[in-house]
Structures are given as C-alpha cells and as structure tokens.
Amino acid sequence: MSNKSSSGAGGAIFFLFVLIALVPKPVWIALGVITVVVLVSWGAYKAVVVLEQRSYEAQERDRKQQVKQAADAKRQREERIRTEKQRRIDTLGKQNAALVESALVAVKQVAASEAARAGWLGDVDFSADIKGITENFEKAHALRAVIGKLSALDKPSVEDRRILAEAKSTAAKLERVAIERVELIGKCAKEAQLIDKSLRTEREDARVAEQRAELHAKLSAMLYGIEATPETTPQDSAVDAVMARVQAYREIKNQIQQARDQGAA
C-alpha cells in the first residue's frame, strides 16, 4: 500500500508539472489575481460581519442597561413616594396627610394648565402655601397626640380640663386654617380648568368663524358666476325633443279618436 501511495503522489506531481507546462503563464496570473480578489473579498466580508455583530451586541448591551436604569429609577421614585407618604401620615395624621396630597395634586394641575403656561395666572409657585399647610397640620397632630395621652390619665384635675380645652381649640384652629388653604388651592385648580375650557372654546369659535367666512366667500363667488352667465337653452336639448314628440303623439291620437267617433255616428 505504501508503494501505491507513493506512486499515486508521484503521478499527481507529474500531472501538476504537465499542467503547468501546458497552461499559458497569463492564465496562471489571471487565476492568481482572481484567487487573491476572492480571498480579499471574503476577508472583507467576514470583517464586516464581525463588526456588525459587535455593533449589535454593543447596542443590545446599551439597550438592556437603559432598561435596567429606567426600571431602577422607577423603583427609586416609587420608593421615595411611598416613604414621603408614610412620613406625612406619621407627622400629620392620615386624614391631614390625604388633604396635603390633594393640595399637591391641585398644584400640579394648575402648573400643567394652559392658563398657567400662557401667563394668565401669574406666579403659580405654591411652595409657601404647602409649607404653611404642612406646618399647621404637624402642630395640630402633635397637639392631639399629647391631648390623647393627657385625656387618658385618671382623675383629671381642673387644670387638666383647662389646658386640654385650650389645646383642642388651638388644634382645631390650626386645622381649620390649613383646610381653608387646601380648599383655596383646589379652587385655583378648578378656575384654571375653566380658563383652559374658555381658551379652547375661543379657539374653536375662531376656527368656525374662519371656516364660515371662507365658505361665504366661496358661495358668493359661485353665485356671482352663475348670475353673470346668461341663461341659455341648448339647441339639442333632449327635453324639448321628447316633449314635442309627446305633444305630437297626443294630437295624432286625438285626431284618430275624432275620426272614429264621426264614423260611428
């Protein structure tokens, strides 16, 4: 088998030398050039594929990172909201905290209104109002906490009753002032909404008026064109021809009927 393999290899080498001798040199040069071009093209294609793959992977990593960052930011924002809400409940009481939340919502509505953006409402910074409301509720909540503890003691004295009455009155006054301010902020939000509605109505009225004027002008031009055109009846009118034939038919029929009546008589 070794001899056969050696013989086969020798034959292949001999055939290669014969082929080289028989094929012209320019053909080999052309084949070499084609081979080089093919190899270079294939290498460039592979390089482009690799670059595209790396670019896609980088974009996918960036996308995942952005999604993760957005999710983290959302969680942090929600956690801050929960923490702030719980802090209000702890320092203001549940009912007062809900009132502050409603005031904050109303403030956002005012700031987002078209009336505010257009400058119709002037300064819409309610931070001082929110601060005053919060402070009043905090003081009232703290007073009521102590009031509850003092009221729970046995055998209340005259002094206990006096200071408890004063504390309750003060807490109620603080809450009343804060609630009035919350209601005023809510009224500002409603008024801003009414102004927005009025502005939308004005725009719609202006649009309709513009459309009405445009249609009036168009109709006037059409009517003027119709009135300026002399009214003529076409010579080849089918209506006139048909009506003439109808009249002729009726006359002929009438004559035939009269002849029949005379013959019968």
Per-residue pLDDT of the chain (265 residues; tens, 9 = 90+): 555 555 555 666 655 555 555 556 676 577 777 887 888 888 888 888 888 888 888 888 888 888 888 888 888 888 888 888 888 888 888 999 999 999 999 999 999 999 889 888 888 889 999 999 999 999 999 999 999 999 999 888 999 999 999 999 999 999 999 999 999 999 999 999 999 999 999 999 999 999 999 999 999 999 988 877 766 655 555 666 767 777 877 787 787 777 777 766 6
In this prediction the pTM is 0.59
- CB distance 178 to 93 below 8 Å: no
C-alpha 125/C-alpha 133 separation (Å) is: 14
C-alpha 249/C-alpha 243 separation (Å) is: 10
φ, ψ of residue 143 in degrees (nearest 5): -60, -45
- CB distance 99 to 179 below 8 Å: yes
Cβ neighbours of residue 140 closer than 8 Å, sequence gap 6 or more: 96, 170, 171, 172, 174, 175, 178
Residue boundaries of the structural domains of the chain: 19-52, 61-90, 93-223
Radius of gyration of the chain (CA): 50
Tokens of 228: 């300026």
C-alpha 105/C-alpha 94 separation (Å) is: 17
Residue 138 is predicted with a pLDDT of 94
- CB distance 136 to 178 below 8 Å: yes
